[in-house]
Amino acid sequence: MRVGAFALVALLAAACSTTAVDRGNYIADSRYQAQNVDSRVRFLVMHYTEIDEAQSLRVLTTEGVSVHYVVPDAPQLRNGKPVIWQLVPESQRAWHAGVSYWQGTTELNAASIGIENVNLGPVDTPQGRSWQPYPPAQVDALIRLAKDIVTRYNIPPTRVVGHSDIAPQRKIDPGPVFPWKQLYDAGVGAWPDASVVSAHLAGRDPSMPVDIRGLQQKLARYGYETATDGVLDERTKRVFAAFQMHFRPRDYTGNPDAETDAIAQALLDKYMPKEGGETPSAP
Protein backbone atom coordinates (compact mmCIF):
# COMPACT_ATOMS: atom_id res chain seq x y z
CA MET A 1 0.00 0.00 0.00
CA ARG A 2 1.42 3.38 -1.04
CA VAL A 3 1.10 6.35 1.28
CA GLY A 4 0.29 9.60 -0.46
CA ALA A 5 2.23 12.79 0.19
CA PHE A 6 -0.64 14.30 2.13
CA ALA A 7 -0.99 11.20 4.32
CA LEU A 8 2.77 11.13 4.96
CA VAL A 9 2.76 14.76 6.04
CA ALA A 10 -0.17 14.03 8.32
CA LEU A 11 1.66 11.08 9.91
CA LEU A 12 4.79 13.17 10.51
CA ALA A 13 2.73 15.97 11.99
CA ALA A 14 1.01 13.53 14.34
CA ALA A 15 4.38 12.13 15.45
CA CYS A 16 5.72 15.61 16.08
CA SER A 17 2.69 16.53 18.15
CA THR A 18 3.32 13.63 20.55
CA THR A 19 7.11 13.85 20.81
CA ALA A 20 7.83 17.57 20.53
CA VAL A 21 7.91 20.05 23.39
CA ASP A 22 7.89 23.79 22.77
CA ARG A 23 10.40 25.33 25.19
CA GLY A 24 9.86 28.92 24.15
CA ASN A 25 12.90 29.66 21.99
CA TYR A 26 13.10 26.20 20.43
CA ILE A 27 11.25 22.90 20.03
CA ALA A 28 12.72 19.68 21.46
CA ASP A 29 11.63 16.56 19.58
CA SER A 30 12.21 13.28 21.41
CA ARG A 31 11.04 10.78 18.79
CA TYR A 32 14.61 9.40 18.51
CA GLN A 33 15.82 7.87 21.77
CA ALA A 34 19.40 6.76 22.47
CA GLN A 35 19.86 3.25 23.87
CA ASN A 36 23.29 3.71 25.50
CA VAL A 37 22.10 5.29 28.76
CA ASP A 38 21.81 4.39 32.41
CA SER A 39 20.24 5.80 35.56
CA ARG A 40 21.71 8.55 37.69
CA VAL A 41 20.68 6.45 40.71
CA ARG A 42 23.11 3.66 41.62
CA PHE A 43 23.13 3.76 45.44
CA LEU A 44 20.63 4.07 48.29
CA VAL A 45 21.95 5.82 51.42
CA MET A 46 20.33 5.61 54.88
CA HIS A 47 20.55 8.31 57.56
CA TYR A 48 19.01 9.38 60.85
CA THR A 49 18.09 13.00 61.50
CA GLU A 50 19.16 13.46 65.18
CA ILE A 51 16.22 15.87 65.57
CA ASP A 52 12.42 15.54 65.62
CA GLU A 53 10.17 15.53 62.57
CA ALA A 54 9.26 19.23 62.56
CA GLN A 55 12.88 20.31 62.97
CA SER A 56 14.00 17.79 60.34
CA LEU A 57 11.61 19.16 57.74
CA ARG A 58 12.63 22.72 58.52
CA VAL A 59 16.37 22.04 58.29
CA LEU A 60 16.13 19.85 55.22
CA THR A 61 14.02 22.36 53.30
CA THR A 62 15.60 25.66 54.33
CA GLU A 63 19.29 25.07 55.12
CA GLY A 64 22.34 23.86 53.22
CA VAL A 65 21.44 20.17 53.33
CA SER A 66 18.68 18.20 51.64
CA VAL A 67 17.49 14.66 51.07
CA HIS A 68 15.06 12.90 48.79
CA TYR A 69 12.84 11.32 51.46
CA VAL A 70 12.09 11.73 55.16
CA VAL A 71 10.47 8.78 56.95
CA PRO A 72 8.63 9.96 60.10
CA ASP A 73 8.99 8.03 63.33
CA ALA A 74 5.19 7.87 63.52
CA PRO A 75 3.94 8.04 59.92
CA GLN A 76 0.42 9.27 59.26
CA LEU A 77 -1.84 6.90 57.36
CA ARG A 78 -3.88 7.76 54.29
CA ASN A 79 -6.10 5.02 52.92
CA GLY A 80 -4.21 2.62 55.15
CA LYS A 81 -0.82 3.58 53.70
CA PRO A 82 2.04 5.40 55.49
CA VAL A 83 2.82 8.94 54.38
CA ILE A 84 6.50 9.61 53.64
CA TRP A 85 7.78 13.11 52.88
CA GLN A 86 9.50 13.54 49.51
CA LEU A 87 11.58 16.72 49.51
CA VAL A 88 13.63 16.32 46.31
CA PRO A 89 12.66 14.67 42.99
CA GLU A 90 14.60 11.45 42.43
CA SER A 91 15.91 12.82 39.14
CA GLN A 92 17.72 15.60 40.99
CA ARG A 93 20.76 15.59 43.28
CA ALA A 94 20.15 16.08 47.00
CA TRP A 95 22.85 17.19 49.42
CA HIS A 96 22.96 14.38 51.97
CA ALA A 97 26.16 12.40 51.33
CA GLY A 98 28.87 15.09 51.26
CA VAL A 99 32.44 13.84 51.03
CA SER A 100 31.86 10.14 50.50
CA TYR A 101 33.16 6.98 48.85
CA TRP A 102 31.75 3.57 48.03
CA GLN A 103 32.95 0.90 45.61
CA GLY A 104 35.14 3.34 43.69
CA THR A 105 32.55 6.11 43.44
CA THR A 106 33.15 9.42 45.19
CA GLU A 107 30.72 12.22 46.05
CA LEU A 108 27.68 9.94 46.22
CA ASN A 109 25.27 12.87 46.14
CA ALA A 110 25.42 12.65 42.36
CA ALA A 111 24.64 8.94 42.18
CA SER A 112 22.29 8.15 45.05
CA ILE A 113 18.92 8.54 46.65
CA GLY A 114 19.05 9.58 50.29
CA ILE A 115 16.58 8.61 53.00
CA GLU A 116 16.51 10.40 56.34
CA ASN A 117 14.76 8.55 59.16
CA VAL A 118 13.44 10.70 61.99
CA ASN A 119 15.47 9.36 64.91
CA LEU A 120 17.51 11.02 67.65
CA GLY A 121 20.38 8.56 67.29
CA PRO A 122 22.67 8.34 70.34
CA VAL A 123 21.28 9.59 73.63
CA ASP A 124 23.89 10.13 76.34
CA THR A 125 22.72 9.83 79.95
CA PRO A 126 24.53 9.48 83.29
CA GLN A 127 24.06 5.73 82.88
CA GLY A 128 25.83 5.76 79.52
CA ARG A 129 24.97 5.93 75.84
CA SER A 130 21.78 4.44 74.44
CA TRP A 131 20.24 4.58 70.98
CA GLN A 132 16.71 5.57 70.11
CA PRO A 133 14.93 2.59 68.52
CA TYR A 134 13.24 2.68 65.14
CA PRO A 135 9.52 2.06 65.80
CA PRO A 136 7.75 -0.75 63.90
CA ALA A 137 5.53 1.67 61.94
CA GLN A 138 8.60 3.59 60.77
CA VAL A 139 10.41 0.39 59.80
CA ASP A 140 7.36 -0.74 57.83
CA ALA A 141 7.22 2.57 55.94
CA LEU A 142 10.96 2.49 55.30
CA ILE A 143 10.79 -1.05 53.92
CA ARG A 144 7.98 -0.07 51.55
CA LEU A 145 9.94 2.93 50.29
CA ALA A 146 13.33 1.23 50.03
CA LYS A 147 11.95 -1.86 48.31
CA ASP A 148 10.25 0.32 45.71
CA ILE A 149 13.46 2.28 45.06
CA VAL A 150 15.82 -0.69 44.74
CA THR A 151 13.32 -2.44 42.46
CA ARG A 152 12.82 0.50 40.13
CA TYR A 153 16.53 1.30 39.85
CA ASN A 154 17.83 -2.27 40.14
CA ILE A 155 20.18 -1.26 42.97
CA PRO A 156 22.37 -4.21 44.01
CA PRO A 157 22.30 -5.31 47.68
CA THR A 158 25.85 -4.10 48.38
CA ARG A 159 24.92 -0.59 47.26
CA VAL A 160 22.30 -0.11 49.98
CA VAL A 161 24.48 1.58 52.58
CA GLY A 162 24.55 3.76 55.64
CA HIS A 163 26.06 7.22 55.92
CA SER A 164 28.66 5.65 58.22
CA ASP A 165 29.65 3.16 55.49
CA ILE A 166 30.37 5.83 52.90
CA ALA A 167 31.89 8.39 55.32
CA PRO A 168 33.23 6.38 58.30
CA GLN A 169 35.70 9.07 59.35
CA ARG A 170 32.98 11.58 60.19
CA LYS A 171 29.57 9.88 60.42
CA ILE A 172 27.93 7.17 62.55
CA ASP A 173 24.35 7.24 61.25
CA PRO A 174 22.05 5.37 60.89
CA GLY A 175 23.52 3.73 64.02
CA PRO A 176 23.74 0.23 65.50
CA VAL A 177 19.99 -0.27 66.06
CA PHE A 178 19.08 0.45 62.43
CA PRO A 179 17.01 -2.50 61.07
CA TRP A 180 19.44 -3.76 58.41
CA LYS A 181 18.44 -7.39 58.93
CA GLN A 182 14.73 -6.57 58.61
CA LEU A 183 15.44 -4.70 55.39
CA TYR A 184 17.42 -7.67 54.08
CA ASP A 185 14.61 -10.08 54.98
CA ALA A 186 12.27 -7.85 52.96
CA GLY A 187 14.58 -7.94 49.93
CA VAL A 188 16.60 -4.77 50.50
CA GLY A 189 20.35 -4.68 51.06
CA ALA A 190 23.01 -7.24 51.94
CA TRP A 191 23.46 -9.61 54.87
CA PRO A 192 25.85 -12.52 55.49
CA ASP A 193 24.62 -16.10 55.78
CA ALA A 194 25.15 -17.29 59.37
CA SER A 195 26.25 -20.76 58.27
CA VAL A 196 28.97 -19.31 56.05
CA VAL A 197 30.17 -17.02 58.84
CA SER A 198 30.43 -20.08 61.10
CA ALA A 199 32.35 -21.97 58.41
CA HIS A 200 34.88 -19.16 58.13
CA LEU A 201 35.25 -18.95 61.90
CA ALA A 202 36.14 -22.65 61.81
CA GLY A 203 35.93 -22.99 65.58
CA ARG A 204 38.04 -19.93 66.39
CA ASP A 205 37.19 -17.70 69.30
CA PRO A 206 35.14 -14.87 67.67
CA SER A 207 37.18 -12.28 69.59
CA MET A 208 40.54 -13.66 68.47
CA PRO A 209 42.70 -10.98 66.78
CA VAL A 210 43.22 -11.35 63.04
CA ASP A 211 45.60 -9.97 60.44
CA ILE A 212 44.85 -6.26 60.12
CA ARG A 213 45.95 -5.95 56.51
CA GLY A 214 43.87 -8.95 55.49
CA LEU A 215 40.73 -7.44 57.02
CA GLN A 216 41.47 -4.07 55.46
CA GLN A 217 41.74 -5.74 52.06
CA LYS A 218 38.41 -7.53 52.51
CA LEU A 219 36.59 -4.34 53.44
CA ALA A 220 38.24 -2.45 50.58
CA ARG A 221 37.01 -5.09 48.14
CA TYR A 222 33.53 -4.88 49.60
CA GLY A 223 33.38 -1.11 49.11
CA TYR A 224 34.90 0.82 52.01
CA GLU A 225 37.55 3.47 51.61
CA THR A 226 40.38 2.16 53.74
CA ALA A 227 44.14 1.83 53.80
CA THR A 228 45.58 -1.64 53.27
CA ASP A 229 48.85 -1.09 55.10
CA GLY A 230 48.26 -3.34 58.09
CA VAL A 231 48.31 -0.43 60.56
CA LEU A 232 45.55 -0.25 63.18
CA ASP A 233 45.36 3.53 63.45
CA GLU A 234 42.25 5.53 64.32
CA ARG A 235 41.15 5.85 60.71
CA THR A 236 41.25 2.09 60.20
CA LYS A 237 39.44 1.49 63.49
CA ARG A 238 36.64 3.82 62.37
CA VAL A 239 36.26 1.81 59.16
CA PHE A 240 36.17 -1.46 61.10
CA ALA A 241 33.63 0.06 63.51
CA ALA A 242 31.39 1.23 60.65
CA PHE A 243 31.39 -2.27 59.17
CA GLN A 244 30.63 -3.81 62.56
CA MET A 245 27.85 -1.30 63.26
CA HIS A 246 26.20 -2.42 60.02
CA PHE A 247 26.75 -6.18 60.19
CA ARG A 248 27.51 -6.94 63.88
CA PRO A 249 25.91 -4.16 65.90
CA ARG A 250 26.29 -5.82 69.30
CA ASP A 251 30.02 -4.98 69.24
CA TYR A 252 31.37 -2.12 67.15
CA THR A 253 34.55 -1.21 68.99
CA GLY A 254 36.57 -1.37 65.76
CA ASN A 255 38.81 -4.22 66.90
CA PRO A 256 39.96 -6.56 64.09
CA ASP A 257 38.61 -9.87 65.41
CA ALA A 258 37.90 -13.26 63.88
CA GLU A 259 34.13 -12.79 63.73
CA THR A 260 34.44 -9.50 61.83
CA ASP A 261 36.85 -11.17 59.41
CA ALA A 262 34.46 -14.12 58.93
CA ILE A 263 31.50 -11.81 58.28
CA ALA A 264 33.49 -9.85 55.71
CA GLN A 265 34.54 -13.00 53.89
CA ALA A 266 30.99 -14.38 53.98
CA LEU A 267 29.73 -11.19 52.32
CA LEU A 268 32.41 -11.41 49.63
CA ASP A 269 31.53 -15.05 49.00
CA LYS A 270 27.86 -14.18 48.64
CA TYR A 271 27.95 -10.97 46.63
CA MET A 272 31.40 -10.78 45.01
CA PRO A 273 32.54 -14.38 44.54
CA LYS A 274 34.95 -13.59 41.69
CA GLU A 275 36.67 -10.96 43.81
CA GLY A 276 36.26 -12.46 47.25
CA GLY A 277 38.69 -15.33 46.89
CA GLU A 278 38.11 -17.95 49.55
CA THR A 279 35.29 -20.46 49.46
CA PRO A 280 34.25 -21.74 52.88
CA SER A 281 34.58 -25.40 53.69
CA ALA A 282 31.66 -27.38 54.99
CA PRO A 283 31.06 -26.83 58.72
pTM for this model (two decimals): 0.89
**Nearest 5°: CA angle at 179, between 177 and 185?**
150
Split into its structural domains, the chain has a count of: 2
Rounded to whole angstroms, how far apart are CA atoms 96 and 93?
9
Query: What digits encode the pLDDT tens for the residues 73-126?
Result: 999 999 999 999 999 999 999 999 999 999 999 999 999 999 999 999 999 888
pLDDT in tens, 161-193: 999 999 999 999 999 999 999 999 999 999 999
Supply the CATH number for residue 48's domain: 3.40.80.10
Confirm whether 32 is domain-assigned: no
From 50, 116, 225, 275, active-site residue: 116
Beta-ladder partners of 77: 82
- pLDDT of 37: 83
Residues 103 and 146 in one domain: yes
Would residue 11 count as lying in a domain?
A: no
Same domain, 177 and 248: no
Q: Are 263 and 187 in contact (CB under 8 A)?
A: no
Residue 279 has pLDDT above 70, yes or no: no
pLDDT for res 19: 87
283 — pLDDT class (breaks 50, 70, 90): very low
**What residue numbers bound the domain in which 246 lies?**
194-276
Same domain, yes or no, for 135 and 257? no
127 has pLDDT over 60: yes
pLDDT in tens, 7-31: 544 544 555 557 899 989 998 999 9
Residues 121, 227 share a domain: no
275 is known as an active-site residue: no
Residues 85 and 205 in one domain: no
Beta bridge partners of 124: 129
Instruction: For residue 239, give the CATH number of its domain.
Output: 1.10.101.10
